[in-house]
Amino acid sequence: MKKTTLVFLFSLVALGAFASGLLRFQARYIKQLRQIPINRCGVTEYENMLNIQNPQRAAERAAYDQMIANKAAAYSSNPSVQGGTITIPVVVHIVWNTAGQNITDNQVLSQIQVLNEDYSRTNADASNTPSYFQGVAANTDIQFCLAQTDPNGNPTTGIERRQISSNVVFNMNNNVKNYNTDGLNAWDVTRYFNIWVCNLTPGLLGYAEFPTSSPSNTFGVVIGFPYFGSNFTSYGSGYSLSSAYNRGRTTTHEIGHCFNLIHIWGDDGSGCNGTDQCNDTPNQADEHYGCPSTIQISCSNSPNGDMYQNYMDYTDDACMNMFTLNQKSRMLSVLNSSPYNALQSSSACNNAAGNDAGISAVLNPNGTACSTTFNPVVTIKNFGTNPLTSATINYRIDAGPIQVYNWTGNLATNATQNVTLNSMTSATGTHTFSAYTLNPNGGTDANAGNDQAQSTYTVSSGSVALPYSEGFESTTFPSNGITINNPDNAVTWSRTTTAASTGTASAFMDNFDYNANGQVDEMVLPALNLNSATNPVITFQLAYKLFTDPNTSPNYSDTLKVLISTDCGVTWTTLFSKSGAALTTTTPNYGSGEFTPGSNDWRWEIIPLNQFQFSGGAIIKFRHTTDFENNLYIDDINIHEATDVEENTSLFDVDVYPNPASDNVNINVQVEKQHDLTIRLINPLGQIVSEEIFRNSSGGTFMLDVADEAPGVYFAEIIAGNRRVMRKIMIQH
C-alpha cells in the first residue's frame, strides 16, 4: 500500500567554506522535493514486483514467514534461548554522479551510530516512549559494524563508492545493485549486510527486501541519499538532510523489513484485519505521518491507542523511538536461522589482523611450461595492518614434498612483492603447483583463509607439430594439452553442449551469471611448433552477444583477446582484441536474455601467424575479461598451413591473380546462387585493411587496390552467406 504526504519544512545549516558547496547542492535537491508526494517505504511495491518476476516467491515467503513465526513464538515464551548480542558487518555502496550525492564518511558513520542506538535502545529519545509502552520496549541485542575485511580478506573501510557518468535516478528495479546498470554488486549477502545509497526516485525514501530461505544477491536495503545518516550524532551535524527524516530512522525501518518485520498496521488498507505478527503491538487501522502529539485510537485499542512511536510506522524520524519484545523475537529468529545466521559468525567485523600474510597469485608455473625445470614465481601480500618484514613460504608440486623459502622484506598494508623461489623439476603432463605462507613477522597468522594460492600447468613433452585442432568434443575438459588459468577460482572457461558451431560442444564463458567485473580467465593451448608450416594461421569460431545497448553511455562489454608468446610466457604479443559491438556476432547485437547462439550466430575469425612461423615453441592463449554482460562461445580452433584456408569443404570457386601482386589483385568469385558477397583484405597482423560488400551478387571479378600496402603476406577473405574462403596473397613492390 502506497501512502503519500507532503514535506513542508527544510532548512540549511551553515558549515565551513569547504563543505558549503556540497550543502548547497543537497539543499537545492531537497527543496525540489517539497511538493513531491512522499513514499516513506517502498517495500510493498517492491515485493509485488518480485512476486511478478518470480511466481514462486509468494509461496516461498509464506512458508518462510510461518517458520519464523513459530520460532519467534518459542523465543517469546523463553527469551533465554535467544542468545547474546549479534554484531552484523555492513557494507555501504555509495553510487553517485554529482558531489552532493557522494555522502561523506562521517555521514555513513552517523548512520551506523543511529542503528546501534536504535537496535540496542540506547537512543537518546528512548525516554519519549510513553509509560504505557515502556514495558514492551526492547533492546534487540543486534549491533552493526562497518566491515573491516572484504570478501577477499583485504582490509576495508566498509564503504564502497562508484561515480557514474550520468545523473541516473534509480527506482525499485534494482539497477543500483548491478554494476552493469550503473550500480554496485552486492558483497556476499550471507556474510555482509548490504546497503545501497543513491539518487533514488524523488519522494521515495527507501526500500527493502524481505528474507527467504534462499537469499538473492539483491538482499539488503536501498536508501535515498538525503535520508541516510543523522544530524544528531557524535559524528557531527550539519548534513543537509530532509528535516522530517534527518535522524537515520529510514534505514532503521528498512532493515527491520530485511529481518522480517511487517509494517505495524499490517498493510491491510485502513482496516483492522491486518497483523504484523506481533502480539505486543496494538492493532491499528493505518499508518501515521508527521508527529502526533496525542493518543491515536483505532481498531478498539483504547485506552493507549496506536503505537505510532514504533520504528515500523511512518511517522517522522523525531517521533520514532522503539522496537518491541515480539519484534525482537522475530528479528532474532531470522538471524539465528540459516542462512542469515552466517552474518553473526562472519569475521568481517574484526579489525584487520596485525600480522596477516598470504600468497595472492602464482605467476609461474602457469599454463604451459616449456621445461621440466623451472623457478616458481609467486606474489606475497601483506593483508595485515603491521608492516610485513618476514614470512615462511611453503610450496610444492601436486602432493610432493614441501619446499621451504624464508622471505624477508618490508611490505606496507596491502602491498605486494613478486618472489622467485628455488628451482623445481616436474615430469611431463599436467600438474598443480601450490604455495602458502606461515609465520608472518615470526608470529601466528591471524587469517589462514588468504594464505594459499595455486595454479594448474602442463609440462609439454615437446612442442606440438601443426596442424593443431580443438573442437571440444571430448567430454574431458580441458583436454588436448590445454590449461585453464582461473585466478579468482570462480566462473571460468568450461565445456558446454548447449551450443556448437560444428559437432555437439564448444568452450564457454558464462558471463550472464558471472557476478564480477574485470576478472581475467585464460584458456592456454599447448606449445606449438610453428616451424612445421609456411605462413601458419589460427582460425576459430566465435559467438557473442551483448546484454546492454552498446550505444548507451556508459557502455559495457566483455573482452576477448588472443595472445602469443615465443619465450615461454615471459612476454606476450596481442594478436586479436575485440569488445563491444566489434565482438558481437548477432543482429541485433544486444538483448536482455541469456545468449545461446543458433547456427547463424557464429563468426569465423582468422589470425595470420607468419611473423612467428620460425618459433619452435609458441604458446597461444585466449584471454577473457568479464564485464558481467553475456555469454561467449569459442569452437573449432585450428592452427595450420595457410596456403588455402576454407571454413568447410565444397564451397564456391575463388581465383586470385596476379599473385604475387604489386598494384592490383583480381578476385574472381563463382557462386551457385545470389548472395550478399563480402570481400576483405587482411594484413599480416590480422587487421582488416579494406572491406567491400556486394548485395545480391552472383559473383564475378572484383579488384583490390594494394598499391599502398607494405610488402608481405596478406589474405583475401571471401564470404558468401554462411560460407567463406581465404586465399593467401603475396604483395611485392
Residue 48 makes CB contacts below 8 A (sequence gap 6+) with none
Write 114-120 long-range contacts (CB < 8 A, 24+).
Answer: 114/229, 114/230, 114/233, 114/247, 114/248, 114/249, 114/251, 114/252, 115/144, 115/248, 115/251, 115/252, 115/255, 116/143, 116/144, 118/248, 118/249, 118/252, 118/311, 118/323, 119/143, 119/144, 119/252, 119/323
Distance CA 430, CA 477 (A): 12
Gyration radius of the chain's alpha carbons: 32
Q: Does residue 722 come out as left (phi exceeding 0), alpha (psi in the -120 to 50 range) or beta?
A: alpha
Given 160, 254, 629, 717, the catalytic residue: 254
Give the up-direction half-sphere exposure of residue 101: CA atoms within 13 A in the CB hemisphere.
Answer: 23
Is 254 annotated as catalytic?
A: yes
As a whole number of angstroms, the distance between CA 577 and CA 562 comes to 7
- Of 559, 613, 599, 566, nearest to 581 (Cα)? 559
Count CB-CB contacts under 10 A for residue 144.
23
Q: Are 357 and 384 in contact (CB under 8 A)?
A: yes
C-beta contacts of 595-600 below 8 A and 24+ residues apart: 595/512, 595/543, 595/544, 595/545, 595/547, 595/630, 595/631, 596/498, 596/499, 596/631, 597/499, 597/543, 597/545, 597/633, 599/722, 600/722
Q: At what angle do helices 43-53 and 57-77 cross, to 10 degrees?
A: 130
Q: Are strands 86-96 and 159-163 parallel, antiparallel or unpaired?
A: parallel
Catalytic positions are 254
